[in-house]
Amino acid sequence: MLKGKKIVLGVTGGIAVYKAVDLVSRLRKQGCEVRVVMTEHAQQFVTPLTFKEISGNQVAVSMWTANQEFNVEHIALANWADVFVVAPATANIIAKMAYGLADDLLSTTLLAAQAPIIVCPAMNTGMFENPATQENIAKLQSRGVTVMPPAVGVLACGTSGAGRLPEPPQIVEFISDFFAKREGDMRGLKVLVTAAGTREPIDPVRFVGNRSSGKMGYAVAQMAAERGADVLLVSGPSALTPPANVRTIKVETTNEMLEACLAAYPEMDIVIKAAAVADYRPRDVADQKIKKKTDDALTVVMDKNPDILKTLGAAKTHQVLVGFAAETQNLIDNARDKVVKKNLDMIVANDVTAAGAGFNADTNIVKFLFADGAIQSLDCLPKTEVAQRILNEALRIKSERK
């Protein structure tokens, strides 16, 4: 996604400046051309020379030093960029951007920028949470600036306090996803996503269900639609609102989900089965509410449900098939077993008992296991970001198959 992209990186003065050096190096490895603009405060942490060596370009630092390359430097840089990234972005530059101040080279260039802007805030938690900063961020977002959420403590799971600059690989991925969305890299593809848990009725008022919220599947559906795919979401009951531009079929039971998936399957390019499917259903569903009996125990006999994913795996022709594995133990072994048994191209394995993962959480910690035996471990990430990574991999598998 990033090959050949022209990126202007604005670096402001915070302790995280050192990460910006790594960021430039990684962006270049992805094939980007990077030009760095540093504020005076940023130069207190790292010298322009470091960025010059890493970026392979002159570093812009002042309105008043002539640059041989550009005539009017801030205007030239503003016009040159495909995207303008500010990382780390201090509370100060965010406030200046919000109010349109232009009192140094970076703020002036940002004000003149024609390209989209991505801001990566990095500051102390108190400063980040201060209503002034939050209002400024909201103001920027309302004008179309993309804001990458800062990392929290030791990364989202556990310690509170947002404000850390995310690690450079995550910023690279974020920028790549940004371009993926803009350029609609999934245009023309048909994607089936299943989400939430299925429910099996016992009587008219009771059911057997599970704790799935649908957040992971809805995030996948939303991101695929934003990237231009034609998305069909088959969802069990969920409190979430289906994403815009996504066709949604609401189902209740495993058999209903199977039927909806089988009907759509032949025309699909990518299938992502995030639903938590009920493996069993009560054999007899009572017509009327079951009344309390004198016995202390109630026995409900359950019959096995069809395995939707396995059925799709057996019928696979051209589709890229991605499953999920929710495990509480032996994550890798159990997940690998499912890849083989269900004829998957990839499985997203998560230990649902880990902090920051599993049902109802906004983040997830997953591993990708591929049909060829490769494994990729991801950090604790927002489910929307996990969704992007899943789509990136599904696209890669699809393109390698051609």
Binding region for ligand CTP (CB under 6 A): 254, 273, 275, 277, 279, 305, 307-309, 323-326, 338
Shortest Cβ 264–ligand CTP spacing (Å):
14
CA atoms lying within 13 Å on the CB side of residue 394: 32
Count of CB atoms within 10 A of residue 357's CB? 19
Give the N- to C-terminal CA distance of the chain in Å, as an integer: 19
Joined together, the tokens standing for residue 316 give: 């696979």
Residue 148 and residue 122 in contact, taking contact as beta carbons nearer than 8 Å? no
Which CB, 338 or 389, lies closer to ligand CTP? 338
Spatial separation of the C-alpha atoms in residues 183 and 181, rounded to whole Å:
6
Residue 378 and residue 402 in contact, taking contact as beta carbons nearer than 8 Å? no
Q: Is 157 a catalytic residue?
A: yes
Spatial separation of the C-alpha atoms in residues 151 and 377, rounded to whole Å:
18
Backbone angles phi, psi at 293, to 5 degrees: -105, 175
Torsion of CA 368, 374, 379, 381, to 10 degrees: -30
Joined together, the tokens standing for residue 102 give: 């232009």
Joined together, the tokens standing for residue 103 give: 């009192």
Tell me what percent of the chain is helix, strand and coil, each rounded to the nearest 5: 35, 25, 40
Backbone angles phi, psi at 166, to 5 degrees: -60, 160
* DSSP secondary structure, 285-330, as one string: --SSPPPP-SSS-----EEEPP-HHHHHHHT-SS-EEEEEEEESS-
Shortest Cβ 360–ligand CTP spacing (Å):
16
Q: Is 54 helix (H, G, I), strand (E, B) or coil?
A: helix
Strands in 170-251 per DSSP E: 190-195, 200-203, 206-208, 230-235, 246-250
Count of CB atoms within 10 A of residue 90's CB? 21
Residue 364 and residue 374 in contact, taking contact as beta carbons nearer than 8 Å? no
Shortest Cβ 393–ligand CTP spacing (Å):
15
Which CB, 199 or 338, lies closer to ligand CTP? 338
Catalytic annotation, residues? 157
